[in-house]
A and B are shown apart, each in its own frame.
Chain A
């Protein structure tokens, strides 16, 4: 027999307590979950199934919107429901709600039913925004009630959006930017508007330029884009495929005049030419006078080869069209500079990039491959640059950048007076005020960068200039001007080793490049120059 043990009576109390707690929690849950009086849930949940072009769509929307307009707020003060506006020839009973208004029809919850936040793809379209849905079913043609959406469609081409973005089922378009054929399925109106208005918000390294558009224009375009969905109701899969193959790459017919092609290709959606200005890219008014025809041809065929980092897309055109455009540009160099005093010259030629107040942030600076060199508050930089280099930059341009040569349209005296103006009014420096540098360590030529040099590069340069010298290291977005792209061989072919060494040794004033003379040992300086040269080696 076992000895008498004390019984754990506390278990009884625990059980009693647990039972009590359980009872209370069940009561509480029941009370919480019990439908409140007069709440929709106590009445009925409307459950409709609508057949839209073969896709059955189930909805509970009319539980709260019985007549289709304001929600039935069931409280002490009953709010009279108003009928849906007349949309003849459509019938609300046939179309249902979510086909046009989006939202989540299967939910019965004021937040979830109207589309959860995030990308906002299913966010409810109210009032005028509903027209964003029209062209998911209707073919693209002027449509009553969808005026803004139609305007958006036209703007999409006028503003040259199709130069970069491809939209399925439409005319020949570029593939430079993301395809927008199904954008409406994935993004909400607000998200689309935001991406047009602030293209560099997300992702931050987006190369899309900010197109000058009014907010109503942006709205219009967003209406059009919202209607580009994955399964457009007006197209059967077969019709879609047929459209894809039918696309004309180059029409056989004779292209019209160069001037028309120049317009057709929407060059001025971005560029300036005479009085017409897209406000996104460089001024082409004098381009044919400054650049040779072969340069322009090469540039058209591959802009990034001549100006690495340029965001201009390759424009699809036939060789005939290309020739005609070039001929038009070269032969019709009508424009002349009438007022040739320095101030007018600055406003006509420099201001678009270098800005009217000389801070380098002209209206198009964000879309250029690099920041135009600021004049204002940048005297340190100009003190360190020899006079000859400054003059050369203006006369023959800076290869590998958007700076064109001006010697064809400006005389030496005019360039000189322009420079004097810039030095006097922006830089605040006498033109012959130059900094004296310490002599560089003796030049050593090493054909190959050593292991140690690579380590040095990794440690000091990679953060900004990147692993492969592309100027896109982990920190590159934090610096303005952006770190130099070493793979810009057009630029580096034009400069001497001594200048590279000097930039490393003494830094570049007015930029984020600090002097490395105390960090880089003398014997490694020229090895680093070799390394930069290896990045910028012309691979062709």
Chain B
């Protein structure tokens, strides 16, 4: 098999190109990566595919957008399925990439791969921004007030906050420009950026020598074709199946028409920003500015604080204890805050029991 790969050298296709000719047997073990990277790529693939379909029917205009969403959801054959898939893949992407980020941070030696870590952070930011701009497009009650909250969260940032808010809303407040802007960003700006950064991200993995591995390695190597390909294809199919099955049971939400005079009580940000909203409810300065800035700064500089000498790989290796501690603190606190914000907050943001 190895021979055949070599012989194909001149006719290697694109798939061959982004893969190494051979991989270590460790790479193929499920618990090394959990297949999260491929799962994320699968979600992205589904998003592009369903996104193009939705693109054909959606109209980014305040008086039409909501009706168009209803038309897609109820009037078109498979329209609901497509929209559910888009919704599930989008939210799945956030969860999967978060897990991917955690896995990479805890197992890899990032100092050598700092550039790719930064690409990953850019991709994660793009995912959040795409999700947020997509959340707005149905223009129903929940999305209308989510953008209001999202924009005001952005407004807490000193110096650039006001600018970001103005840019997102296309003016001082939510107006007809807001929807067009969100739409343009969602379908015109972010997708090409995704393609660019995903390409860079994948290319960098090869450049950096594949997955990080213990050195000196006692691992044996195996040809990527067919083992890696088959494994990746299996993950692809499994993720696709999960999305398909779930899309039969979980409906993408649609609420009442946007009502600019009567906010829902409580008005909540999309779930991935609820952690920040919860923090802001305690203190605008700390929760809206200092803590998010600290988290961002930590993610950017954390890989530089590693021991550079040791080549240890595996969970919790090769990291300073306190770097690990801060990382886990950030992740756990965000999860707890999101849970509190999503299920334990009732009218006027008062604490309630969800049952």
A residues contacting B by CB (< 8 A) are 2-3, 5, 7-8, 11-12, 14-15, 17-19, 21-22, 24-26, 28-29, 32-33, 35, 41, 45, 58, 60, 104-109, 112-113, 115-119, 121-122, 182, 186-187
Q: With A8-B227, A11-B230, A186-B262 given, is the CB distance from A107 to B71 under 8 Å?
A: yes
Q: Is the CB of B222 within 8 A of A8?
A: yes
Give the shortest distance, in Å, between A313 (CB) and chain B (any CB).
Answer: 21
Q: Is the CB of A116 within 8 A of B255?
A: yes
Q: Is the CB of A28 within 8 A of B259?
A: no
CA distance A105 to B68 in the complex (A): 11
Q: Is the CB of B28 within 8 A of A11?
A: yes
From A11, A26, A113, A122, B256 is in contact (CB under 8 Å) with A122
Q: Is the CB of A104 within 8 A of B67?
A: yes
Contacts of B81 in A (CB 8 A): 29, 33
Q: Which of B90-98, B99-107, B240-248, B304-312 contacts A (4 or more CB under 8 A)?
A: B240-248
Chosen A-B contacts, 6 in total, with CB atoms closer than 8 Å, are A11-B227, A24-B241, A29-B248, A121-B256, A186-B259, A186-B261
CA distance A18 to B241 in the complex (A): 8
Q: Is the CB of A25 within 8 A of B244?
A: yes
Listed from nearest, the 10 A-B pairs whose CB atoms lie closest are: A106-B67, A107-B70, A5-B220, A18-B237, A18-B234, A25-B241, A109-B74, A118-B256, A22-B237, A25-B244
Give the shortest distance, in Å, between A308 (CB) and chain B (any CB).
Answer: 25
Contacts of A32 in B (CB 8 A): 248
Q: Is the CB of B234 within 8 A of A14?
A: yes
Give the shortest distance, in Å, between A500 (CB) and chain B (any CB).
Answer: 32
Give the shortest distance, in Å, between A58 (CB) and chain B (any CB).
Answer: 7
The answer, yes or no, to whether B264 is at the interface (CB within 8 Å) is yes
Q: Is the CB of B75 within 8 A of A22?
A: no
Contacts of A11 in B (CB 8 A): 28, 227, 230-231, 234
The answer, yes or no, to whether B221 is at the interface (CB within 8 Å) is yes
Interface string of B285-322 (1 = CB under 8 A from A): 00000000000000000000000000000000000000
Q: Is the CB of B234 within 8 A of A106?
A: no
Contacts of A107 in B (CB 8 A): 70-71, 73-75
Q: Is the CB of B256 within 8 A of A41?
A: no
Q: Is the CB of A108 within 8 A of B28?
A: no
Q: Which residue of B lies closest to A105 (CB)?
A: B67
Q: Is the CB of B222 within 8 A of A7?
A: yes
Q: With A28-B248, A29-B248, A45-B75 given, is the CB distance from A122 to B257 under 8 Å?
A: yes
Q: Is the CB of B233 within 8 A of A25?
A: no
The answer, yes or no, to whether B53 is at the interface (CB within 8 Å) is no
The answer, yes or no, to whether B25 is at the interface (CB within 8 Å) is yes
Contacts of A15 in B (CB 8 A): 230-231, 233-234, 237
Contacts of A19 in B (CB 8 A): 237
From B254, B262, B264, A112 is in contact (CB under 8 Å) with B254
Q: Which residue of B lies closest to A4 (CB)?
A: B220
Q: Is the CB of A121 within 8 A of B257?
A: yes
Q: Is the CB of B78 within 8 A of A33?
A: yes
Contacts of A116 in B (CB 8 A): 254-256
CA distance A182 to B260 in the complex (A): 12
List 14 extra interface pairs beyond A25-B244, A28-B245, A186-B259, CB under 8 A.
A5-B25, A7-B227, A11-B28, A17-B234, A21-B241, A29-B81, A32-B248, A33-B80, A35-B77, A106-B71, A112-B73, A117-B256, A118-B259, A182-B261
Give the shortest distance, in Å, between B342 (CB) and chain A (any CB).
Answer: 19
CA distance A32 to B81 in the complex (A): 10
Q: With A26-B244, A186-B259 given, is the CB distance from A60 to B75 under 8 Å?
A: yes
CA distance A108 to B141 in the complex (A): 20
* CB within 8 Å of A: which B202-231 residues: 220-222, 227, 230-231
Q: Is the CB of B257 within 8 A of A22?
A: no
Contacts of B77 in A (CB 8 A): 33, 35, 41
Q: Is the CB of A12 within 8 A of B256?
A: no
CA distance A107 to B75 in the complex (A): 6
Q: Is the CB of A109 within 8 A of B73?
A: yes
Q: Which residue of A lies closest to B261 (CB)?
A: A186
Q: Is the CB of B220 within 8 A of A12?
A: no
Q: Which of B78, B233, B257 has the most chain A CB atoms closer than 10 A to its own CB?
A: B257
Q: With A26-B244, A29-B248, A112-B70 given, is the CB distance from A119 to B256 under 8 Å?
A: yes
Contacts of A41 in B (CB 8 A): 77
Give the shortest distance, in Å, between A19 (CB) and chain B (any CB).
Answer: 6
CA distance A5 to B256 in the complex (A): 61
Contacts of B67 in A (CB 8 A): 58, 104-106
The answer, yes or no, to whether B115 is at the interface (CB within 8 Å) is no
From A2, A14, A119, B262 is in contact (CB under 8 Å) with A119
CA distance A5 to B218 in the complex (A): 12
Give the shortest distance, in Å, between B249 (CB) and chain A (any CB).
Answer: 9
CA distance A119 to B263 in the complex (A): 10
* CB within 8 Å of A: which B232-288 residues: 233-235, 237-238, 240-242, 244-245, 247-248, 254-257, 259, 261-262, 264
Q: Which residue of A lies closest to B244 (CB)?
A: A25
Contacts of A12 in B (CB 8 A): 230
From B74, B240, B262, A187 is in contact (CB under 8 Å) with B262
CA distance A28 to B244 in the complex (A): 9
Give the shortest distance, in Å, between B2 (CB) and chain A (any CB).
Answer: 8
CA distance A274 to B147 in the complex (A): 55
CA distance A105 to B64 in the complex (A): 12
Q: Which of A22, A28, A41 has the most chain B CB atoms closer than 10 A to its own CB?
A: A22
Contacts of B28 in A (CB 8 A): 8, 11
Give the shortest distance, in Å, between B323 (CB) and chain A (any CB).
Answer: 34
Q: Is the CB of A29 within 8 A of B245?
A: yes
CA distance A281 to B259 in the complex (A): 34
* CB within 8 Å of A: which B155-182 residues: none
Give the shortest distance, in Å, between B317 (CB) and chain A (any CB).
Answer: 24
CA distance A17 to B238 in the complex (A): 9
Give the shortest distance, in Å, between B246 (CB) and chain A (any CB).
Answer: 9
Q: With A29-B81, A108-B74 given, is the CB distance from A22 to B256 under 8 Å?
A: no
CA distance A109 to B242 in the complex (A): 26
Contacts of B68 in A (CB 8 A): 106
Contacts of B248 in A (CB 8 A): 28-29, 32-33
Q: Is the CB of B241 within 8 A of A22?
A: yes
Contacts of A45 in B (CB 8 A): 75
CA distance A112 to B71 in the complex (A): 11
From B74, B80, B237, A21 is in contact (CB under 8 Å) with B237
From B233, B237, B244, B264, A29 is in contact (CB under 8 Å) with B244
CA distance A29 to B248 in the complex (A): 7
Contacts of A104 in B (CB 8 A): 67, 70
From A3, A24, A182, B220 is in contact (CB under 8 Å) with A3
Q: With A5-B25, A106-B70, A121-B257 given, is the CB distance from A29 to B231 under 8 Å?
A: no
Give the shortest distance, in Å, between A213 (CB) and chain B (any CB).
Answer: 23
Contacts of A58 in B (CB 8 A): 67
CA distance A119 to B261 in the complex (A): 11
Give the shortest distance, in Å, between A163 (CB) and chain B (any CB).
Answer: 22
Give the shortest distance, in Å, between B158 (CB) and chain A (any CB).
Answer: 27
Interface string of B50-79 (1 = CB under 8 A from A): 000000000000000001101101110110
Q: Is the CB of A5 within 8 A of B78?
A: no
Give the shortest distance, in Å, between B251 (CB) and chain A (any CB).
Answer: 11
Q: Which residue of B lies closest to A110 (CB)?
A: B74
Q: Which residue of A lies closest to B240 (CB)?
A: A22
Contacts of A115 in B (CB 8 A): 256
Q: Which residue of A lies closest to B75 (CB)?
A: A108
CA distance A112 to B28 in the complex (A): 48
Contacts of B231 in A (CB 8 A): 11, 14-15
* CB within 8 Å of A: which B95-145 residues: 141
Q: Which residue of A lies closest to B248 (CB)?
A: A32
Q: Is the CB of A121 within 8 A of B259?
A: yes
CA distance A512 to B233 in the complex (A): 70
Q: Which residue of A lies closest to B70 (CB)?
A: A107
Contacts of A187 in B (CB 8 A): 262
CA distance A437 to B16 in the complex (A): 95
CA distance A109 to B25 in the complex (A): 53
Give the shortest distance, in Å, between A65 (CB) and chain B (any CB).
Answer: 15
Contacts of A108 in B (CB 8 A): 74-75
